Chain A
């Protein structure tokens, strides 16, 4: 069975500071990993995803994540936070043997202070 753990339900950073949102996964087969962002009163939209190949994945709005198999992690980072980054972020995992199911983490709400 697959699972996702997001460490910290709330993260607060100052504008211009590093953003680090942590995600650890469990999967017995090669995983596909995703980060989605949800702005207030909106649906989720894809930030970035890892399927195969390069383990450092770049996404929209300056975000990137690195797949580390040895640590079973897929942490999301951004060098400098902007006020517009305030949102909820979801890590998700799926696999070819998981059928059509994507497992989502509980989410991390990011607050950005001026």
Chain B
């Protein structure tokens, strides 16, 4: 099992450019999450999904969109990148309802917006 994988590992964007981050998991997990990690702030939830075809907003959703067309994939889109979106982005998944479940994290995507 590869677990949770993320593509790309690193990306540099110019302000106003768009991009899509891909998260894939091979554990047949129902729930998937996108977080951003900023120094001194821990992880903050951007969007999450409780199943194929469903998405919901997290704590910091502005400027991001997501899609879950297939159970194993969860895409995070930036339509018009801003320097404030410079961060490390982590995808995670859980097998069932999230509250007591262990989250399985991908290796992260480092994004720099100039």
Contacts and interface: CB of A to CB of B under 8 A. Distances in A.
Main secondary structure of the interface of A (DSSP, over half): loop
Nearest to A101: B45
Contact of B48 (A32, A100, A106): A100
A64 B92 CA distance: 24
A83 B74 CA distance: 36
Interface string B71-114: 00000000000000000001010000111101101111000000
Interface in A8-61: 9, 32, 34, 36, 41-46, 49, 51
Given A42-B107, A45-B105, A102 B98 contact: yes
Nearest to A9: B40
Given A43-B4, A43-B90, A49 B40 contact: no
B6 to A, nearest CB: 8
A44 B105 contact: yes
Given A9-B40, A43-B108, A104-B43, A94 B90 contact: no
Interface residues of B, number: 26
Contact of B102 (A49, A96, A99): A49
Nearest to B105: A43
A90 interface: yes
Interface in A80-97: 90, 94-96
Interface in B41-87: 41-45, 48, 50, 56, 58-59
Contacts of B33: 100
B31 interface: yes
A98 interface: yes
